[in-house]
């Protein structure tokens, strides 16, 4: 049964996302954590098992499977149903790309976090090398066509997310990814990147003021990560 639960948990997000979130949270002092959107609650159940106090919200609470964990129905397009500064942490696993207003959601996470509280956001990485090439060839990023077009109503790029976090006073602490998707294609992508690097530096690095964007623009996380995982702290 435990094995089945584990497999089901992984099905709620891309491979390796939950595991990376757990790694980032495990190193923190135990406290109250908002899981939004929570889905069936598998991530929160894992967090509870390692000593955190999870609180879950999701638009569809009928699929929630852990009645011993506090859970509430809520629309993340609206204000979060909580008072200011009551959470130590907040996690948003593959949810922000389903939300109409990225600024509002991040602003709400900041509002409900305590000073020094930490926010972890994961989202499909539409700026990896293969997604960029796909956009160049057919005008669509990865995760933006077919089935994804129906569910991912508002994909967010790394540069936009970092800009919003910076504007809202959330300082970047860590950027990572769930898994490297380069494989054999990495040779071709690496060659293309090598050829384009002088132009990238000239066109962007000299003009970009945000240090986090400059730091990660050509990083393996951004170029070859399937899903981005960003950890920020409320200053």
Residue 72 has a pLDDT of: 96
Model confidence band, residue 132 (pLDDT cutoffs 50, 70, 90): confident
Q: Which CATH superfamily is domain 2-126+141-180+226-234 in?
A: Vaccinia Virus protein VP39 (3.40.50.150)
The average confidence (pLDDT) of the chain is 85
Average pLDDT rounded to a whole number, residues 95-112? 96
Highest mean pLDDT pick, 31-45, 137-151, 184-198: 31-45
User: Cis before residue 37, ω within 30 degrees of 0?
Assistant: yes
Residue ranges of the domains in the chain? 2-126+141-180+226-234
Percent of the chain with pLDDT over 70: 78
Average pLDDT rounded to a whole number, residues 60-74? 95
- How many helices (DSSP H) and strands (DSSP E) are in the chain? 10, 7
């Amino acid at each position: 049964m435990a094995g089945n639960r584990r497999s089901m948990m992984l099905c709620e997000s891309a491979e390796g996302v939950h595991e990376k979130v757990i790694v980032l949270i495990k190193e923190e002092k135990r406290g109250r954590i908002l899981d939004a959107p929570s889905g069936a609650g598998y991530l929160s159940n894992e967090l509870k098992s390692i000593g955190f106090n999870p609180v879950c919200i999701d638009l569809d609470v009928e699929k929630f499977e852990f009645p011993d964990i506090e859970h509430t129905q809520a629309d993340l397009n609206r204000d979060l149903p909580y008072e200011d500064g009551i959470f130590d942490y907040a996690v948003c696993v593959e949810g922000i790309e389903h939300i109409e207003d990225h600024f509002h959601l991040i602003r709400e996470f900041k509002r409900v976090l305590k000073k020094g509280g930490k926010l972890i956001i994961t989202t499909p990485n539409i700026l990896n090398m293969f997604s960029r090439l796909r956009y160049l060839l057919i005008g669509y990023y990865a995760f933006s066509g077919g089935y994804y077009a129906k569910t991912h109503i508002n994909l967010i790029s790394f540069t936009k997310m970092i800009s919003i976090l910076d504007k809202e006073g959330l300082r970047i602490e860590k950027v990572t990814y769930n898994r490297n998707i380069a494989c054999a294609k990495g040779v071709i992508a690496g060659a293309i990147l090598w050829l384009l690097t002088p132009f990238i530096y000239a066109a962007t690095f000299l003009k970009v003021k945000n240090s986090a964007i400059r730091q990660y623009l050509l990083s393996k996380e951004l170029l070859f990560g399937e899903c981005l995982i960003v950890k920020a702290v409320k200053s």
